[in-house]
Structure 1
Amino acid sequence: MTTPAGTPRRPATLSDVARLAGVSVATASKSLNGRQQVRAETRARVLSAAEQLSFSPNVLARHLLSGRSGTIGLVTHDLEGRFSIPVLMGAEDAAGTGKTSVLLCDARGDALREQYHVQALLGRRVDGLMIVGARPDPRAPLGELPVPVVYAYAPSDDPADMSVVTDNVLGGRLVAEHLLACGRTRIAVVTGDATYGAAHDRVAGVRAVLDDAGVGLTGEPLYGSWSEEWGRAAAALVLAQHPDVDAIVSGSDHIARGVLDHLRETGRRVPEDVAVTGHDNWEILALNARPQLTSVDMDLEEVGRRAAALLFDAIEGRVRSGTEVVPCRLVPRASTGPRADGGGGHRSPPGQDVPSVSG
């Protein structure tokens, strides 16, 4: 390994390590890749030789020897990246720096495009696939594939598959418990698209807590779009039908922003007169709301970390099945708190009547 003065020293090779350790190249490779067929003392000798020679194995060569590419594919249906980006960040955390790369594809809510991306990723010899849905409802599985698959956010409807989801029922329970602790007893719910299972799950969580407390929901839940426009319209309906409401649970941060707008326009103080909660904890909305919005954080990065951990285990042969549920958490902010009058009965702003809504 000595070289003439002034000549750059070439990097050590696997053959150099094998020669110094007194083993074959194949045994040196198995030792460095952690294969079980190598005796402990042989592995120690190879590792010592590698350290002496400052041997750095070629990443591509290592993957070729192991039969893996060191990549996983992530296919998302979330057009805006609102849900997929935190999941991707969590997956990359679990992958570890330099150990595994994540290839991202956007299926744009199209099943055919999803199949195209899956086949393209398989052509790149990915070691596994993570499929992230646009809505947290069960979906059809991809079927038999040559690599492991984990479904994140939107679970597979096949119980034999691996899925990781958020706890929407718990989200509803957390906001209801928080509002009761704030002394709220006239609590209405305004949420999104009734075709979303998540919308009903969040309502179920709220209803269960209020029923247990002997309070019950104020009126029936209002379902609509996941938009600020719907939040404004729904808040008007709630106030017209239940002018003594003292809290509104919103199914998303977008809806909550619309609710806040209407309350402010009609002179209702938040949270003194009406407390408001959201869901998603999308900080660009929650932190810029007036006042800042109490919201449920679904911990999507943890969903990504757990999904990636399951995928890596499956790649190593430790395949699991079923759906793992990641708990969410409540992030209290200025839109909730005790009533200005300590509870009991609505107090309209001076000189202002409760608005009426036709239709």
Structure 2
Amino acid sequence: MTQKARSREERGTGRAGDGVRRTTGNVTLSDVARLAGVSIATASKALNGRDQVRAETRERVLDAAERLSFRPNPLARGLLAGATGTVGLLTGDLEGRFSLPILMGAEDAFGAGELSVFLCDARGDAIRERHHVRALLDRRVDGLIVVGSSTDPRPSLGRDLPVPVVYAYAPSEDPADLSFVPDNVAAGRMAVEHLLACGRTRIAHIAGDAGYAATTDRIAGIAAALAEAGLEPAAPCRTGAWSESWGRAGTAMLLDQGAEPDGLVCGNDQLARGALDSLRDRGLRVPDDVAVVGFDNWQVMTEGCRPMLTSLDMNLEQLGRDAATALAQAIADGGTLAGGVRAQPARLVVRGSSVPLT
């Protein structure tokens, strides 16, 4: 065995004293730069074949990458080619249950440690949002992802920005912009189709705030699925707050007015949890007498219900990943970005609150 081959074999075994820091997680560009004794920018240039790096430095970086089994993130690599390697994530609700998974999905797609992501929270304030946009552009970000706090359409940042912009969750009001949104119409349809497959034919709906696009979209999907099955709703849809208390009250109203549903679609998991309480108070068994389906697949709610709640997961992390991928492609293409709205399909997660009738 040659000395070079022996050296490579020892690196592969991670023999004590070889100077390589082992890690059980993903190796990042920062790890490579640290081992090679260079900056992250220099490591990036060396790995991407830039001319500005001396031959001995390039060899040191490539050797470090091999020793750590580093595999560059293709998405981040495309971003770094000819760009500053920074992206702005602008949200209106950093603490929101819906914003966080989208942001996590986007960050996951960009690749931790391989480019800089600037996160700004406008807190629903238009003036603060404009300030953040200016600050991000001053930092020469290569692109922006704007994450809404609801699925209601929001004003566009405009077409005169020097970088591509992608909207996530809340679509832009300008059809020329590219927006990624959850498909609430199809999710409503999916909820009814699941209950029909469980043998339920008297299906009612307790919804959230009627002023939200998510509410009207889910109502439309539910109505379409019932009509296609040749069924009428077991009772008129009732709308109210997105809360457990309205779930309890709305379900009680439905039962007091003579409706006898064997399937109940609730506009979110909080409503469904309240509905389960109300059904239990009336002596109705779930799922034997009434099967219940919620939306959002919020784990603290779904798994805290008795029985655990069937729910529609809106795939928000994937929505964030898709938005980030589209932005990266636009940056690689020199800012070209096709407009339109792309709807992310939901995923049904079946639990104990809905089972087929025996």
TM-score of the two chains, using structure 2 as the length reference: 0.78
Distance across 2 between alignment mates of 1:83 and 1:13? 39
The aligned amino acid for 1:321 is G
- 100, 113, 127: which is aligned to 2:115? 100
SS of residue matched to 1:323:
strand
Distance across 1 between alignment mates of 2:287 and 2:194? 13
Pair 1:132 & 2:163 matched:
no
| CA RMSD across the alignment | 3.0
The aligned amino acid for 2:287 is P
Once the two structures are superposed, what CA deviation does each residue of 1:291-335 show, in whole Å capped at 9, x if it has no partner?
111000000011100100111111122422211111111111101
> In the alignment, is the contact (CA less than 8 A) between 2:46 and 2:62 conserved in 1?
no
Pair 1:81 & 2:96 matched:
yes
Aligned counterpart, 1:170? 186
- Deviation, 1:124, is 2.3
Distance across 1 between alignment mates of 2:229 and 2:150? 31
Q: Aligned residues: percent identity?
A: 56
> In the alignment, is the contact (CA less than 8 A) between 2:148 and 2:170 conserved in 1?
yes
- 294, 307, 311: which is aligned to 1:291? 307
SS of residue matched to 1:113:
helix
> In the alignment, is the contact (CA less than 8 A) between 1:163 and 1:323 conserved in 2?
yes
Give the 3 Å change call, closer, same or farther, for CA 103–225 of structure 1 in structure 2. same
Q: Mark the runs of 5 or more structure 2 residues left unpaired by the alignment.
A: 1-34, 66-76
Q: Mark the runs of 5 or more structure 1 residues left unpaired by the alignment.
A: 1-9, 18-28, 39-45, 343-359
Distance across 1 between alignment mates of 2:57 and 2:103? 38
Give the 3 Å change call, closer, same or farther, for CA 12–98 of structure 1 in structure 2. closer
Distance across 2 between alignment mates of 1:171 and 1:54? 48
- Deviation, 1:97, is 3.1
Distance across 2 between alignment mates of 1:234 and 1:51? 69
Give the 3 Å change call, closer, same or farther, for CA 53–147 of structure 1 in structure 2. closer
Pair 1:158 & 2:174 matched:
yes
Once the two structures are superposed, what CA deviation does each residue of 1:200-232 show, in whole Å capped at 9, x if it has no partner?
111111111111111121121111111111111
Distance across 1 between alignment mates of 2:308 and 2:58? 56
- Deviation, 1:30, is 8.3
Give the 3 Å change call, closer, same or farther, for CA 13–142 of structure 1 in structure 2. closer
Aligned counterpart, 1:274? 290
Once the two structures are superposed, what CA deviation does each residue of 1:55-77 show, in whole Å capped at 9, x if it has no partner?
779xxxx99x9663322111112
- 59, 63, 66: which is aligned to 1:51? 59
- Number of residue equivalences: 306
Distance across 2 between alignment mates of 1:51 and 1:212? 65
Aligned counterpart, 2:233? 217
TM-score of the two chains, using structure 1 as the length reference: 0.78
The aligned amino acid for 1:91 is A
Give the 3 Å change call, closer, same or farther, for CA 112–131 of structure 1 in structure 2. same
Q: Which runs of 4+ in 1 moved over 6 A?
A: 10-14, 46-49
Distance across 1 between alignment mates of 2:196 and 2:299? 24
Give the 3 Å change call, closer, same or farther, for CA 275–47 of structure 1 in structure 2. farther
SS of residue matched to 1:259:
helix
> In the alignment, is the contact (CA less than 8 A) between 1:155 and 1:165 conserved in 2?
yes
> In the alignment, is the contact (CA less than 8 A) between 1:164 and 1:326 conserved in 2?
yes
Aligned counterpart, 1:118? 133
Aligned counterpart, 1:247? 263
Pair 1:182 & 2:190 matched:
no
Aligned counterpart, 2:346? 328
Once the two structures are superposed, what CA deviation does each residue of 1:67-102 show, in whole Å capped at 9, x if it has no partner?
633221111122533111111111112102322232
Once the two structures are superposed, what CA deviation does each residue of 1:253-301 show, in whole Å capped at 9, x if it has no partner?
1111111111122221111111111100111111111111100000001
Distance across 1 between alignment mates of 2:108 and 2:55? 27
- Deviation, 1:199, is 0.6
Give the 3 Å change call, closer, same or farther, for CA 66–229 of structure 1 in structure 2. same
Give the 3 Å change call, closer, same or farther, for CA 123–338 of structure 1 in structure 2. same
> In the alignment, is the contact (CA less than 8 A) between 1:278 and 1:295 conserved in 2?
yes
Distance across 1 between alignment mates of 2:268 and 2:64? 50
Distance across 1 between alignment mates of 2:301 and 2:271? 10
- Deviation, 1:31, is 8.5
> In the alignment, is the contact (CA less than 8 A) between 2:36 and 2:60 conserved in 1?
no
